[in-house]
């Protein structure tokens, strides 16, 4: 997930905010119990102590040491920046977009906020309040009319903010200071320093350095984060602390430390570093690619596949990248055993490929298959595996791959018991109405209608007597109990929500559905669907898989991998 803000009360009490809210207790990071709803973002954090913490973004929340609660009384708007002040908390609010955008600064406590900078100035991005009782403060941003940096200052709580000339063009997005006569302001290609009398430009800053955050332990130990790296001030000069990684597009969006030897940096797609100026260590070098599918045979054996020919293997302790020999997206994976795994994908021109893992290496077993964009795999054993592409269904007999079954198929295939289910192609504008599922039983194919009025995308079933289907209409999931007709189960979602693209379950009372286009993960308990998405911190999920024992894996965008044990 993307992490945009860091703050801590101590080395073993640190908060990180972004697509979710996380907490570090000195041993491990965990999801906070704050009600960060799907689609919300935490952009700023501030606090005084472990029982007085603020988190701002789409809403403003306060933590009293036990519970996070929404803070009433805040004027409408998104929280862009936060800082503590003697009068409570100082917050920058964004009250609109485009020509209507107005930004303001408010101050106070929950239920009693007052405006200290009127809502007329655009592009205010950062706050800093001097230590101590005065409440001296700076606000930094950008003046789009002049193309120059914008800096506002007040000498104490209760006094007005006034404009202070900035000696530079460009935007300022970060502030930090050790005291009233030592304040740094940063932005893309820009670092300014305040000595108590005037702002000056720091020399030697690369115009391409996309500075996003500032923090220091003292005047001679200051960090400035950039895209893929960081800079450090030793009291004399700025130098490169972490060179940007070649080709790494990730922004380091936040930095905070408990002291000079315990500094944290965080940013895009789970980027996380910890240490000091000499020993910063990357803690989350996980995959950044989009992961499409996942399968597992047990608690110490799972595979996740995705963009760029990515294949990751779970050995019970960590995910290990394994070379596949292909560079195009892998869309599907299915495992008969730890030494018998199949994967399928295609290039952008729908030249498909099939790969096999024998316990030692991946090898390509089907030459370039023109026109086959493989999308699904399923099987019941080493001699019964099925692969589906639009307009083609292939069957592995244990000796060879051969075309079988209907020609107008697409999307998803399910082999369960001695039977096979595959979706009929219902591409928009095509000849087939939505909702058709082909069923192979006793050697004969029949076409069944689920009743769905929008395209279906995925199938799952534990036995031939318990098969499920889902697709573009997220308000319902279709179920085929026994040999009877398909029926719908209401999810409780709004139809405007992106559709459901993956299904998996361990039993008829433990079924999961996820969306590729929205942060949604649903669970069926045998009676109703419930939403598990709250505070999980992902943008979308494209693949679900697991074991009959109830172990669940979910994968998706930005290398997302979620794991739920039985």
CATH code for position 560: 2.120.10.80
493 and 382 fall within a common domain: yes
DSSP, collapsed to helix, strand or coil, labels residue 327 as: coil
Within-domain flag for 108 = yes
pLDDT at 38: 65
Give yes or no: residues 524 and 388 share one domain. Answer: yes
The range of the structural domain enclosing residue 193 comes to 3-282
Residue 220 falls within a domain, yes or no?
Answer: yes
Last residue of a domain, one of 282, 306, 322: 282
Last residue within a domain, chosen from 237, 253, 282: 282
Q: Which pLDDT belongs to residue 560?
A: 85
The whole-number pLDDT of residue 538 equals 73
Domain boundary among 252, 282, 312: 282
Q: How many domains does the chain have?
A: 2
Judgement on whether residues 270 and 388 belong to the same structural domain of the protein = no
pTM, full prediction: 0.66
DSSP state of 329: P
Using an 8 Å Cβ cutoff, are 83 and 118 in contact? Answer: no
On whether both 260 and 402 belong to a single domain, the answer is: no
- One domain for residues 553 and 439: yes
- Is 405 among the domain residues? yes
Supply the pLDDT for residue 288: 65
- Pair 73, 192 in one domain: yes
Residue 289 domain-assigned?
Answer: no
- Contact in structure between 418 and 398 (CB atoms under 8 Å): no
Q: Which position has the token pair 């595979």?
A: 303
Please report whether residue 347 resides in a domain.
Answer: no
Tell me how crowded residue 4 is: count the other CB atoms within 10 A of its CB: 23
Residue 302 lies in a domain: no
In a domain, 95, yes or no: yes
Do both 506 and 413 map to the same domain?
yes
In the prediction, which pLDDT does 249 show? 64
Clarify whether residues 513 and 414 are in a common domain: yes
Q: Are residues 183 and 64 in the same domain?
A: yes
Residue ranges, the chain, pLDDT below 50: none
318 in a domain, yes or no?
no
402 and 530 in a single domain? The answer is yes
Are 492 and 476 in contact by the 8 Å Cβ rule? The answer is no
CA-to-CA separations, 544 to 65, 110, 374, in angstroms, rounded: 36, 41, 17
3 half-sphere exposure, CB direction, 13 A CA radius: 25
Do 188 and 42 lie in one domain? The reply is: yes
Q: Are residues 373 and 246 in the same domain?
A: no
Of 138, 145, 41, 15, the residue nearest 94 (C-alpha): 41
Q: Judging by beta carbons within 10 Å of its beta carbon (0-12, 13-18, 19+), is residue 1 exposed, middle or buried?
A: buried
Please count the other Cβ atoms lying within 10 Å of the Cβ belonging to residue 391: 16
CATH number of the domain to which 54 belongs: 2.130.10.10
Cα 465 to chain centroid, rounded = 36
What local confidence, expressed as pLDDT, does residue 535 receive? 54
pLDDT at site 100: 65
Q: Transcribe 340-371 into DSSP letters.
A: EEEEEEE-TT--EEEEEE-SS-EEEEEEEETT
Following CA atoms 504, 506, 508, 510 in sequence, which dihedral angle do they give, to the nearest 10 degrees? Answer: -80
pLDDT at 481: 87
Cα 371 to the center of its chain, rounded Å:
32
């Amino acid at each position: 997930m993307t992490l945009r803000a860091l703050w801590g009360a101590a080395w073993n009490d640190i908060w990180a905010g972004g697509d979710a809210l996380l907490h570090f207790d000195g041993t491990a990071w965990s999801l906070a119990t704050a009600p960060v709803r799907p689609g919300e973002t935490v952009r700023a954090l501030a606090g005084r102590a472990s029982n007085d913490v603020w988190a701002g973004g789409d809403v403003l929340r306060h933590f009293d040491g036990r519970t996070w609660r929404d803070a009433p009384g805040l004027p409408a708007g998104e929280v862009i920046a936060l800082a503590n002040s003697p009068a409570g908390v100082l917050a920058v609010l964004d009250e609109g977009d485009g020509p209507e955008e107005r930004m303001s600064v408010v101050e106070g406590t929950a239920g009693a906020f007052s405006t200290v900078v009127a809502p007329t100035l655009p592009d205010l991005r950062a706050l800093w309040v001097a230590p101590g009782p005065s409440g001296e403060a700076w606000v930094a941003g950008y003046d789009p009319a002049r193309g120059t940096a914008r800096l506002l200052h007040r000498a104490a709580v209760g006094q007005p903010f006034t404009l202070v000339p900035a000696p530079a063009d460009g935007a300022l997005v970060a502030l930090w200071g050790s005291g009233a006569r030592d304040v740094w302001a940063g932005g893309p290609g820009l670092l300014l320093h305040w000595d108590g009398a005037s702002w000056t430009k720091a020399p030697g800053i690369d115009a391409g350095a996309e500075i996003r955050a500032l923090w220091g332990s003292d005047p001679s130990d200051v960090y400035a984060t950039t895209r893929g790296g960081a800079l450090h001030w030793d009291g004399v000069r700025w130098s490169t602390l972490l060179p940007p990684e070649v080709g790494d597009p990730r922004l380091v969006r936040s930095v905070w430390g408990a002291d000079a030897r315990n500094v944290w940096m965080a940013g895009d797609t789970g980027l996380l570093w910890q240490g000091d100026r000499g020993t910063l260590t990357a803690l989350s070098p996980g995959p950044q690619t989009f992961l499409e599918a996942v399968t597992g045979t047990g608690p110490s054996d799972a595979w996740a596949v995705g963009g760029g020919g990515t294949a990751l293997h779970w050995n019970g302790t960590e995910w290990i990248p394994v070379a596949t020999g292909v560079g195009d997206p892998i869309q599907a994976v299915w495992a008969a055993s730890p030494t018998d795994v199949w994967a399928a994908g295609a290039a952008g021109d729908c030249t498909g490929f099939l790969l096999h893992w024998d316990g030692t290496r991946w090898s390509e077993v089907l030459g370039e298959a023109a026109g086959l964009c493989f999308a699904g795999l399923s099987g019941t054993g080493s001699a019964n595996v099925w692969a589906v592409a639009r307009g083609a269904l292939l069957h592995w007999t244990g000796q060879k791959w051969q075309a079988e079954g209907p020609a107008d198929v697409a999307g998803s295939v399910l082999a369960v018991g001695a039977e096979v289910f595959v979706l009929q192609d219902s591409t928009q504008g095509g000849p087939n109405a939505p909702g058709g599922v082909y069923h192979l039983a006793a050697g004969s194919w029949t076409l069944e209608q689920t009743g769905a009025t929008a395209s279906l995308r995925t199938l799952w079933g534990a036995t031939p007597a318990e098969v499920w289907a889902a697709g573009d209409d997220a308000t319902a999931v279709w179920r085929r109990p026994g040999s009877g007709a398909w029926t719908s189960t209401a999810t409780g979602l709004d139809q405007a929500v992106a559709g459901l693209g993956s299904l998996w379950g361990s039993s008829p009372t433990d079924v999961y559905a996820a969306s590729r286009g929205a942060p949604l993960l649903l669970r069926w308990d045998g009676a109703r669907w419930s939403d598990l998405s709250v505070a999980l911190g992902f943008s979308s999920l494209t693949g679900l898989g697991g074991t009959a024992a109830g172990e669940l894996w979910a994968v998706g965008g930005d290398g997302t991998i979620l794991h739920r044990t039985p």
